[in-house]
Amino acid sequence: MEKSEFGPGYLRVRFRNTLFTLLGVVVLLLKRNYTGAGRDFVQSYAGNFFVSFAVYFLMANIPTPPRFRRVLSAALALATVELFEATNGFGVMSNTYDPGDFLANALGVALALSVDVLINRKRKTT
């Protein structure tokens, strides 16, 4: 662990990651109440998409070398959510198999990674 990992922005980044994790969970919980356009699509894939988004930011809070944090967070998040799909909820939770869920998971992690990179880039320029 590099010393710079625990610099002045350490708690701010951890707090931000926690907020994004909670945002993903809130959207997951609220999606069942959605009744607008594309309701079936939202009901089918929004949960996977936003849970994957949340899992990325959850993994981003694991202490890792800063140089590899984003790549490891994305890899761990994608592995977790895809294994959940492939094992039918790890055999613990009920899960309806849908091949589209794998794509929704990957897109959720991709969005989270993009948000993380953009926020970090913006922070460095300000």
Tokens of residue 91, six digits:
């055999």
47 pLDDT higher than 60: yes
Residue 32 is predicted with a pLDDT of 87
Contacts of 73 (CB under 8 A, 6+ apart): 56, 57, 59, 60, 62, 64, 113, 116
Q: Give the percent of the chain with pLDDT over 70.
A: 90
Domain coordinates in residue numbering, the chain: 3-125
Mean pLDDT, residues 31-39: 90
Q: For the chain, give the mean pLDDT.
A: 88
pLDDT > 70? residue 21: yes
Does the pLDDT of residue 1 top 60, yes or no? Answer: no
Averaged pLDDT, 59-77: 92
